[in-house]
Chains A and B, each alone.
Chain A
Amino acid sequence: MTEQIIFYILAIVIAVFSILAVTSKQVVRSATYLLFVLLGTAGIYMLLNYYFLFAVQVSVYAGGIMVLFIMAIFLTHKPGIDVNPQDSWKVKSSAVLSLAGLVLCGYIILNNVTRVYRFVKGDELQMQDIGTAMMGTDKYQYLLPFEVISVLLLACIVGAILIARKDNGNDENINKLD
């Protein structure tokens, strides 16, 4: 019973704030609503007994990405000014489009998904199991994607600095920075 009450609260929070996040007029508000949605998602992971995923969601999404968003908003927007609205026919047509998609997918889910009501309440997923699965090279173990992700992160850091850096137009400054 408690689980269900918590789930309903999380579901309402996620639904309401995700709709508010895409309809709000100010960017900072939109980012704050996104933060609530991400925290609600973290709560859902906890409800599913995925505590590691909960920790990753809170620290990477709600911590890291939100800080990036807020910084970018402060760098590119004046406070208190609404964003430019889109043409009204575009808003209407995309509302119709996304509602149609929602109804279609909702119909498919309600009629075709296997009725599964409970998950097996095994032991809590041990951190050691996650670690061996992430660091092993056997079947169903993920060392290669893990390393590829680390290279991807490095490439993203270098690329982001290279793109966002002020371009002075002469090579001498670049050599000095090196």
Chain B
Amino acid sequence: MGEFLINAGGPIPMIGFQIVSLIMFFAGIYGFFTRRNLIMILISVELILNAVDINFAVFNRYLYPDQMEGLFFALFGIAIAACETAVAIAIIINVYRNFGNADVDNIKHLKG
């Protein structure tokens, strides 16, 4: 942490980005455990995915600036997150239609 402050005024150290993404990741984990509403759980999942994407881009830029693997992982991660959100929201709307609200506690009985 000391080096982090001494270095103020220069370029941004890689560790700064990692701390930001760390905070975002664990905020997502906290929300995933504490929320009862399905949409809020989905919002927490988005936070987690976003933190991971930041890490991919930062590691690529700082450690391997000539290559583009991290960039493409982040790109494909964003695309897969979009797919996942679309399907999850369809499921949530269906749950709301069947149970009257979108809480996880309702979904105890399956059809099978």
Interface: A72 (CB within 8 A): yes
A45, B30: Cα distance in complex, Å = 25
Query: Which of B20, B85, B92 touches A15 (beta carbons < 8 Å)?
Result: B20
A34, B30: Cα distance in complex, Å = 15
Interface of A is mostly: helix
Write the nearest CB–CB distance from B15 to chain A, whole angstroms: 6
Query: Which of A7, A61, A157 touches B16 (beta carbons < 8 Å)?
Result: A7
Interface size on A, as a range, is 35 or more
Interface: A137 (CB within 8 A): no
The number of inter-chain residue pairs (CB within 8 angstroms) is 232
Query: A160's closest neighbor in chain B, by CB?
Result: B90
A154, B13: Cα distance in complex, Å = 40
Query: A163's closest neighbor in chain B, by CB?
Result: B90
Structural contact, B11 and A117, CB atoms closer than 8 A: yes
Structural contact, B61 and A69, CB atoms closer than 8 A: no
* 7 other A-B residue contacts (CB within 8 Å) besides A4-B8, A113-B15: A4-B9, A21-B47, A34-B43, A48-B58, A52-B71, A130-B68, A152-B79
Query: Which of B13, B17, B24, B53 touches A115 (beta carbons < 8 Å)?
Result: B13
Structural contact, A27 and B15, CB atoms closer than 8 A: no
A84: which B residues are within 8 A, CB to CB? 36-37, 103
Residues 49-61 of chain A, each 1 if its beta carbon lies under 8 Å from chain B, else 0: 1101100110011
